[in-house]
């Protein structure tokens, strides 16, 4: 895991989440901007998955549990897909709010992933 | 799919319905409009609780068996509650009330125990972020207190969205769950 990349990822997820919440509460159904911001979050998660697969091979080992890390990462990868499908099925303002919730949830999960990799020791 | 509140030409029925607690259509599904957000948060919490408990059980179950059994139980409750909120009909409505009541009781009881007597459920510390914590530990502090707030929101939502009058022959029994 790369520290600055994880930081960028948390910031992007927070911004995308807040953006979708605001746009949703204004009353807009999901549009290119909100769906695009969540797609960007998903893209960064896929990049994170690649980094996670490569990192231990090149000697970048997690300080905590790699299994726990992967549970977070895979759960996070599923969220934008679920939220995105939902946004395409029900075109209402609340689907945009759901996208916002997804963004913020991913921000928290990515932060936790950072803790597992960099802070959490092995017991 | 059917409604598009942003289209300027439409009468705006969906917009008006969105503002009121009543679903826009006499849909069989309870979860339309704002309720979808509730389901989404429930779904994410169910995913979080399931992921955590699966990891705890396969990785270090013997460290705190009571806490991890509770963790798995709470995950199951959230999964069932999420399904019950989506599924139509009075039976699922009762299941939703039951599971959400269990959640509220769980977060209050486990929150109190984990804060004031962690040893009672086999934990050595109060740390809500610790390896042996559950979604309910310390009143859900590790999950931004969402587990404490969510059952209350869920109950309010269920109370305002009984199964439609057409098939609700006994609407008064909701508190019995």
Residue-wise pLDDT for B126-151, tens only, equals 565 666 677 888 888 878 888 899 99
Would you state the pLDDT for residue B128? 59
CA distance A5 to chain B (A): 23
Are residues B154 and B96 in contact, defined by beta-carbon separation less than 8 angstroms? yes
Alpha carbon B103 to its chain's center: 7
Please report which confidence band the pLDDT of residue A123 belongs to, taking 50, 70 and 90 as the band edges.
Answer: low
Give yes or no for residue A50 having a pLDDT over 50: yes
Residue B109 lies in a domain: yes
Residue B5 lies in a domain: no
Would you state the pLDDT for residue A38? 94
Residue A123 lies in a domain: no
* Residue A98 sits at the chain B interface (C-beta within 8 Å): yes
Residue B20 lies in a domain: no
The residue of A21, A92, A96, A119 whose CB has the most chain B CBs within 10 angstroms, and thus the best one to mutate to test that interface, is A92
CB distance B44–A105 less than 8 Å?
Answer: yes
Would you state the pLDDT for residue A105? 92
Q: Which one of A29, A98, A108 has the shortest CB-CB distance to B5?
A: A29
Residues of A within 8 A of B14 (CB-CB) are 92
- The Cα–Cα gap between B24 and A55 comes to 50
Q: Note down the domain range covering A42.
A: 3-118
CB distance B41–A89 less than 8 Å?
Answer: no
CA distance A84 to chain B (A): 12
Give yes or no for residue B122 having a pLDDT over 70: no
Would you state the pLDDT for residue B143? 82
Give yes or no for residue B108 having a pLDDT over 80: yes
Q: What are the φ/ψ torsions at residue B2 (nearest 5 degrees)?
A: -85, -30
Residue A87 lies in a domain: yes
CB distance A123–B40 less than 8 Å?
Answer: no
Residues of A within 8 A of B44 (CB-CB) are 79, 101-102, 105
Q: Which residues of B touch A (CB under 8 A)?
A: 1, 3-6, 14-15, 18, 32-37, 40-41, 43-44, 47-48, 51-52, 54-55, 58-60, 131, 144
CB distance A65–B18 less than 8 Å?
Answer: no
The total number of structural domains that make up chain A? 1
Residue B143 lies in a domain: yes
Give yes or no for residue B166 having a pLDDT over 70: no
Residue B15 lies in a domain: no
Residue B166 lies in a domain: no
CB distance B59–A68 less than 8 Å?
Answer: yes
Per DSSP, the residues of B15-67 read HHHHHSSS-SS--S-S--TTHHHHHHHHHHHHHHHHHHHHHHHHHHGGG-HHH
Which range scores top for mean pLDDT: A53-62, B16-25, B96-105? B96-105
Give yes or no for residue B28 having a pLDDT over 60: no
The total number of structural domains that make up chain B? 1
- The Cα–Cα gap between B52 and B135 comes to 9
Residue A64 lies in a domain: yes
Residue B26 lies in a domain: no
Q: Note down the domain range covering B126.
A: 32-161
Q: What percent of chain A has pLDDT over 90?
A: 59
Residue A72 lies in a domain: yes
Please report which confidence band the pLDDT of residue B164 belongs to, taking 50, 70 and 90 as the band edges.
Answer: low
Name B140's Cβ contacts closer than 8 Å, sequence gap at least 6: B107, B111, B128, B146, B147, B148
Residue B10 lies in a domain: no
Q: Which one of B1, B6, B131 has the shortest CB-CB distance to A28?
A: B6
Q: With the C-alpha atoms ordered A32, A33, A38, A41, is the resulting torsion angle positive or negative?
A: positive
CA distance B85 to chain A (A): 16
Give yes or no for residue B81 having a pLDDT over 90: yes
* Residue A76 sits at the chain B interface (C-beta within 8 Å): no
Give yes or no for residue B176 having a pLDDT over 50: no
Mean pLDDT computed over A49-65? 88
The residue of B7, B40, B61, B149 whose CB has the most chain A CBs within 10 angstroms, and thus the best one to mutate to test that interface, is B40
């Amino acid at each position: 895991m790369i520290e600055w990349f994880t930081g960028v990822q948390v910031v992007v997820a927070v911004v995308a989440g807040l953006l979708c919440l605001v746009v949703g509460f204004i009353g807009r159904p999901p549009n290119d901007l909100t769906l695009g911001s969540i797609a960007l979050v998903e893209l960064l998660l896929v990049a994170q998955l690649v980094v996670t697969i490569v990192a231990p091979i090149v000697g970048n080992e997690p300080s905590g549990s790699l299994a726990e890390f992967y549970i977070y990462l895979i759960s996070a990868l599923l969220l934008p897909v679920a939220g995105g499908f939902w946004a395409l099925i029900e075109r209402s303002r609340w689907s945009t709010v759901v996208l916002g919730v997804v963004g913020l949830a991913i921000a928290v999960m990515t932060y936790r992933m950072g803790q597992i990799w960099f802070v959490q020791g092995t017991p | 799919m059917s409604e598009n509140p942003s289209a300027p030409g439409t009468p705006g029925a969906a917009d008006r319905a969105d503002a009121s607690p009543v679903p826009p259509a006499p849909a069989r599904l309870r979860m339309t409009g704002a309720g979808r957000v509730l389901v989404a948060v429930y779904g994410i919490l169910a995913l979080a609780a399931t992921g955590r408990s699966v990891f705890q059980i396969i990785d270090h179950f013997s460290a705190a068996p009571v806490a991890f059994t509770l963790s798995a139980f709470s995950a199951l409750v959230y999964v069932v509650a999420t399904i019950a909120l989506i599924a139509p009909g009075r039976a699922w409505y009762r299941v939703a009330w039951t599971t959400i009541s269990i959640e509220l009781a769980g977060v209050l009881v486990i929150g109190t125990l984990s804060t004031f007597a962690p040893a009672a459920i086999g934990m050595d510390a109060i740390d809500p972020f610790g390896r042996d914590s559950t979604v309910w530990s310390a009143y859900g502090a590790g999950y931004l207190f969402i587990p404490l707030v969510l059952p209350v929101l869920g109950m309010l939502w269920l109370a305002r969205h009984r199964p439609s009058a057409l098939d609700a022959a006994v609407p008064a029994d909701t508190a019995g769950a």
